Structure 1
Amino acid sequence: MLRSRTLRVQVPPSQIVYFKFLLEGYDHLALPVVVDGKKAEIKLLIHPTELKIFVSLIKEEFPSAIILGDDEDGCSGSI
């Protein structure tokens, strides 16, 4: 059985609402929780099968976005 993954992402602060709106538009691709509004750090719960779609969306819409960490494997860095 596949378990959901937890990712932390940082987007431009002025784009938090747009980011959440996009996730809703993609049939709730991930469940976002804003951890730090000033830094625009967002924690996401996402299913592993949706990860490719999520990364493609982020690369296209938020080229300066940074993955701050993954609770599963500790990955971090620009996407």
Structure 2
Amino acid sequence: MRRRPRRRPPYLPPGNSERLYLSLPGANVGLLRFLLEGYGHMACMTVVDRYAAVVRLFFAPTAREEVLEFVAAAACEIPGLAVRLAPRDQSGPGGTVQDACLSPP
């Protein structure tokens, strides 16, 4: 019996992922997840600290600009949403997205 060759995936997944930490009011964590689903699951969300309402977004490095645009748009819907830490930029709290809707950390 001859084995069929294994099919290759339609695209190569990224070898690493970017991350972004956000803080927001605890009551709005579900809303952020809902908005993320509505934008096509561009990032995976994990709650890092449920008491301080800090979430971590994992996403592909090629989708960084799209995720930052999403965060800026979500900040208009969720008052108090702020970038806590963007490790790639090493800029510390609130240093990556500049928009009128974002609140200071």
Give the TM-score range, shorter chain. Answer: 0.7 to 0.9
**1:4 Cα offset (Å):** 4.2
**1:53 Cα offset (Å):** 2.5
Structure with a larger share of its residues in helix: 1
**1:51 Cα offset (Å):** 2.9
Corresponding residue of 2:82: 66
1:32·1:44 contact (CA, 8 Å) conserved in 2? yes
* Percent of aligned pairs with the same amino acid: 29
Decide whether aligned partners of structure 1 residues 67 and 49 sit closer, same or farther in structure 2, where only a CA change above 3 A counts: closer
Using CA pairs below 8 Å that are at least 6 residues apart, which structure has the higher relative contact order? 1
Corresponding residue of 2:73: 57
**1:7 Cα offset (Å):** 0.4
> Does 1:35 pair with 2:68?
no
Q: How many residues align?
A: 78
Structure with a larger share of its residues in strand: 1
Based on CA coordinates, which of the two structures has the bigger radius of gyration? 2
Q: Compute the TM-score of the two structures, normalised by the length of structure 1.
A: 0.80
Secondary structure of 1:16's counterpart equals helix
> Does 1:48 pair with 2:61?
no
Aligned-CA RMSD value: 2.1
Alignment deviations for residues 46-76 of structure 1 (CA, whole Å, 9 cap, x no partner): 3213134313322211231121101212232
Alignment deviations for residues 7-28 of structure 1 (CA, whole Å, 9 cap, x no partner): 0000110111111111011101
